[in-house]
Amino acid sequence: MTLDIITSDLLGPVTHGFFGRAGGASSGVFRGLNCGFGSSDQHEAVALNRARVAAALGLGAEALMGVHQVHSARVVTVDSGDAPVAEADGLVTRTPGLALSVLTADCQPVLFADAEAGVIGAAHAGWRGALDGVLEATVDAMVAQGARREAIVAAIGPTISQRAYEVGPEFLDSFMDEDPGHARFFAQGKGDRLQFDLPAFGLSRLREAGIADAAWTRHCTYSNPERFFSYRRSVHRREADYGRLIAAIRL
């Protein structure tokens, strides 16, 4: 089966993709292109899925770089084919032939590029990481590698949409403690529940980081089970585990 690859016009000539679940070797709740070794899926199936992603980017599997994601604001710079083992949630490079990747299942996958300077980045930005500054940290790391802040573009891939992201008042408090203006990212739900707009929050943080050109692909992970994995949907369905989507970019 053909892989489902979503691209962004913003990233232009830079090879990249937000991969859906079609075209993978996994089965059961992981059916499709599960790329997360951290899941309980068969290791061989995940390895095959990741190899298919790398091939779609024109690379071997060994060139697909990732990190151990921990919902942080830490970013690593990758300058060789030695896979970073750091706990982090962002990667940047100016080295051709390496693909930076992040895994998500409702959180925001964000890909960055300054094509003229030859610097790219990728970030895993859930609410915690986005609130703590992982997007800004990724931009800063790119600038340190020679990117021009005003030339960096960023695309947010499939993530959970506001209509599917119900939260409680204590969640709102985490945002209001930092900035009362964050109330604009919440809509009233049922009772004391609220609906949080994660991609709008991500776009706001990108703008604050000086990124003039940024956009969300407008795909909701929760609402399309045939196309995307979703952690929250798996919890609501009481499934034992869930697959991880991959987003990747290469020079």
Do the beta carbons of residue 103 and residue 221 sit within 8 Å?
no
**For residues 50-78, average pLDDT:** 96
Count Cβ atoms below 10 Å from residue 235 Cβ, excluding itself: 10
Average pLDDT over residues 178-201: 96
Average confidence (pLDDT) over 180-186? 97
Q: What is the pTM of this model?
A: 0.96
Q: What is the pLDDT of residues 202-250, one digit of tens each?
A: 999 999 999 999 999 999 999 999 999 999 999 999 999 999 999 999 9
Average pLDDT rounded to a whole number, residues 122-135? 98
pLDDT number for residue 195? 98
Q: Can you give the pLDDT at residue 232? A: 97
Least confident window among 42-46, 69-73, 79-83: 79-83
- Rounded CA-CA distance 166/105 in Å is 16
User: What mean pLDDT, rounded, does the chain reach?
Assistant: 96
Region 33-49: mean pLDDT is 96
Phi, psi of 98 (to 5 degrees): -115, 140
Mean pLDDT of 122-147: 98
Q: What pLDDT is stored for residue 85 in this prediction?
A: 66
Mean pLDDT of 162-184: 96
Terminal Cα distance for the chain, rounded: 26
Assess whether pLDDT exceeds 80 at residue 96: yes
Domains of the chain: 5-161+197-249 (3.60.140.10)
- Residue 125 to residue 136: CA distance in whole angstroms: 11
pLDDT value at 39 more than 70: yes
pLDDT of residue 143: 98
Query: How would DSSP label each residue in the chain?
Result: ----EE--GGGTTSEEEEE-STT-SB-GGG-B----TTSSS-HHHHHHHHHHHHHHTTS-GGGEE--B--S-S-EEE--SSS----B-SEEEE--TT-EEEEEESSSEEEEEEETTTTEEEEEEE-HHHHHHTHHHHHHHHHHHTT--GGG-EEEE-SB--GGG-EE-HHHHHHHHTT-GGGGGGEEE-STT-EEE-HHHHHHHHHHHTT-SEEEE---BSTT-TTT---HHHHHHTT-S----EEEEEE-
